[in-house]
A and B are shown apart, each in its own frame.
Chain A
Amino acid sequence: MPMVSRWMYISLVILYSFLLGPFIIIFMASFGANATMAFPPQGFTLDWFANVFETSQFIDSFWISLHLALLSTIVSLVMGMPVAYALTRFQFAASGLVETIFSAPILVPGLVIGFAMLNFFVLLGDMRVMTGLFIGHTAILFPYSVRVISASLRNLDPYVEDAAVSLGANRLRGFLLVVLPNMQAGIAAAFVLGFITSFNNVPVSLFLSGPGVTTLPVSMLSYLEYYFDPTIAALSTLLVIFTVVLVQTAERVLGLSQFV
């Protein structure tokens, strides 16, 4: 490898210990026997993992987060895909504006979005907490779904559709038979990205959560306000494993990093 000197490798070591070190610490802490989280942890126990599953607050909010992430990701994909198609297959005057509008939710701070939506929903009157969360999450996922699917559409020769049509397929069949199968990787990547973004979101959920309806990260945050014990470490460990499996699978199968 040309041009890479030894001190640069040191920078790599620093980078990775800083990025991954905290995870090792959480991992160790989740097996430690003492409740006060002194370091290094003493003894070995699985009690904290048991505690995670006994805390109904975590279990309930896990299911809510899972439902929410699946639902909002799917809806943002189904609605975002036509937008991506229009942006990549047509030239039109307002395309710049449309692109800006759909990337806006990424530019506005999440906390502000959550706050603005809460106030607006209150104005609209009675709205179920879950509905509010669903709307908020779907809105913030549009930038991801539109961008990732646009990227995968740009990799596909636009003329394959014309080829299908010249061979006798109508536009819709051409799309279903030729475009959609070639977007599988892009759709899956957008799905994983959207799912993780929604599943981990705190700032938007924070305001939109309500009594009894809370997402997992928000309930972790409120747990931390009252308790300071390795339960959170154990839960974090479980979530990291969950994420590693998901991300590594996605990376292996789809090359996720090209879309991030």
Chain B
Amino acid sequence: MPYLEIHDLTVSYEKNQPTLERFSLNVEQGELLSLLGPSGCGKTTTLRSVAGFIQPDAGRIVINGRDYTHLPPNQRDIGLVFQSYALFPHLTVFNNVAFGLRMRRIPKKEIYSRVANALKMVGLEAFADRRPAQLSGGQQQRVALARATVIEPQVLLLDEPLSNLDAGLRVTMRQEIRRLQQQLGITTLYVTHDQVEAMTISDRVVVMNQGEIEQMGTPENIFSAPETVFVADFMGFDNHFNTEVVSVGDSKLTATWGGAPIQLRWHSKFGSPRPGARAEIFFRADNASLVAGTEATGLAGQVILHTFHGNELQYLVDTEVGEFSIMQDSDSERFEAGAAVTVQPHTQKWIAIIEETAARRQRKE
């Protein structure tokens, strides 16, 4: 049974804010679920509705079987970590963390031990008497985590918690958040626009776009098998081109690449495409190889540019289908700009997506 249930949530805003229409989502107990999407996709709106700061026009929020929809935010028992951390500048670290316990009228002794314990978990025992302004960004983030978890909330909500940290610290902190979340076994909703962050931290990922769920699945599933053009784009498939479907099987369809047939996994939300339909093919830069000359099977092209990336070399190759970015091991054969090459596909990693427009066009024909 799901622990956090969002049923048909509808939120409409006056100003250029994202809206949600009949948005539904379930989070299992102890699960960390990420809402991933660009700014304005509705992920923060969803999070703030769960927290109670947005009163939805319709729909229900249920946590552990109890209807939360009309409960004011201060009675919800939800831990919230803000993008800006929103630490109380005038209070010490200890008092920041103790705030929620004091609101709950917990006895002094217990407050002391629980705060001490929470600070220990985030490694800040020595900083209890500091003010937030005297802490680094990463330490402030830890205080925010301790403050949100010390109240032992039903659900933990994190709103872009790492976006104010530099790249190195972000990696450390996301491991810490994950460790803490698993230690406490707390059901968590995590909002981010960073796909790497969502991949590494989550049990499940929900990719959102314009208030709707594009795809939901495990990080691996989302990473390797995007179901829509939007998800493929967002998940960093570097190359794509539009082509005609030659024939369709149960799990694979056939298209052409440099005159030769290729078999690709496909996905369509509109049923099985017919031969002659259009498909958008996606592949990552490291899922193709270059060989010298144009005699080999594959698509012929010409190297326009090459750049050095340490272990890898990146080539920009111009072909009759379009320009592609291809990564090769730096110890493989090198090509100078202007060299004639053949692009050979690693078809098992490629994916064909049939979009609505393509499906409609097909139906008309």
Contact = CB atoms under 8 A, between A and B. Distances in A.
Interface of A: 91, 156-157, 159-160, 162-171, 173-174, 177-178, 181-182
A173 B290 CA distance: 66
Contact of A168 (B51, B53, B88, B100): B100
Contacts of B76: 166
A182 B104 contact: no
Contacts of B151: 167-168
A162 B80 CA distance: 9
Interface residues of B, number: 27
A164 B72 contact: no
Nearest to B90: A181
B349 to A, nearest CB: 42
| Top 7 closest pairs, chain A to chain B, by CB | A168-B103, A167-B100, A159-B86, A166-B80, A163-B86, A181-B90, A160-B86
B261 interface: no
Given A164-B99, A168-B104, A169-B103, A159 B88 contact: no
Interface in B24-82: 51-53, 72-76, 78-80, 82
A166 B158 CA distance: 12
A174 B99 CA distance: 11
Contact of B84 (A91, A159, A166, A181): A159
Q: Most B CB atoms within 10 A — which of A162, A174, A182?
A: A162
B56 to A, nearest CB: 17
Contact of B74 (A166, A181, A182): A166
Nearest to A160: B86
**Secondary structure type dominating chain B contacts:** loop
B88 A91 contact: no
B83 to A, nearest CB: 8
A157 B148 CA distance: 17
Contacts of B162: none
Interface in B95-120: 99-100, 103-104
Contacts of A168: 74-75, 100, 103-104, 151
Contacts, number: 65
A91 B17 CA distance: 13
Interface in B137-175: 147-148, 151
B88 A178 contact: yes
A156 to B, nearest CB: 7
23 contacts: A157-B84, A159-B83, A159-B86, A160-B87, A160-B89, A162-B51, A162-B73, A162-B82, A162-B86, A163-B80, A163-B86, A163-B88, A165-B53, A166-B78, A167-B74, A167-B99, A168-B100, A168-B103, A170-B72, A171-B74, A174-B74, A182-B89, A182-B90
Contact of A156 (B72, B89, B100): B89
Q: Most A CB atoms within 10 A — which of B73, B82, B151?
A: B73
A169 B88 CA distance: 13
Contacts of A164: 88, 99
B15 interface: yes
A11 to B, nearest CB: 38
Given A91-B15, A159-B82, A165 B87 contact: no
B80 A160 contact: no
B147 A167 contact: yes
Nearest to B73: A165
B302 to A, nearest CB: 52
Nearest to A91: B15
Contact of A169 (B52, B74, B82, B87): B74
Given A91-B15, A168-B151, A178-B88, A163 B72 contact: no
Contacts of A159: 82-84, 86
A157 B85 CA distance: 9
A107 B75 CA distance: 46
Nearest to B83: A159
Given A166-B52, A166-B79, A168-B103, 9 more contacts: A160-B88, A162-B51, A162-B80, A163-B80, A163-B82, A166-B74, A169-B74, A178-B90, A182-B89
Contacts of A163: 80, 82, 86-88, 147
A170 B80 contact: no
Contacts of B90: 178, 181-182
Contacts of B52: 166
